[in-house]
Amino acid sequence: MSKESQVQERGVSLSETARSGGSGNGVAVSGRVPSAGVPAKPQRRQYSAEFKARVVEEADACTQAGEIAALLRREGLYSSHLVHWRREYRNGAAAGLAKRRGPQAKDAVVLEKEELERKVARLEHRLRQAEKIIEVQKKLSELLGIPMTESHDR
């Protein structure tokens, strides 16, 4: 039995807005309501090297069961953060913790070298095209019987 028929059996009719799923205030409501506290695109949390070192040192100072879990809950971290940070801390102390994610900036010399390599590749491609065009012109002149004048500057 539908909701409308159950209500009508009791002698009460549903209003038009209740049947259509509207809000009753005359304003159209979309099916998807954005949450006030949740951003549209989440941002990756970033932690400073000092924060990471402090958390690692506090975790190493924990002696009783459950202290590390309490530390992680208090700071809003996952255990994987602590494992990764401990490894970095032991390998390179503060330098390892300050390492940034993503592609590293390239040196100016490396950038110039890559640009020159791309330019050389582009010019070699144009040279191959020009050589093919000259070859086709030679074959066409042979077929048509037009004598080609030899250029001695090569």
- Close Cβ partners of 34 (under 8 Å, ≥ 6 residues apart): 40
Q: What is the pTM of this model?
A: 0.39
What pLDDT, in 10s, does the model give residues 31-61?
565 566 766 787 878 888 888 888 988 898 8
Q: Which residues of 131-148 are buried (b: 16+ CB within 10 A; e: fewer)?
A: eeeeeeeeeeeeeeeeee
Q: Where are the domains of the chain?
A: 49-97, 105-154
What pLDDT, in 10s, does the model give residues 81-130?
889 888 887 877 656 566 666 777 788 898 999 999 999 999 999 999 99
The conformational region for residue 123 under phi > 0 = left, psi -120 to 50 = alpha, else beta, is alpha
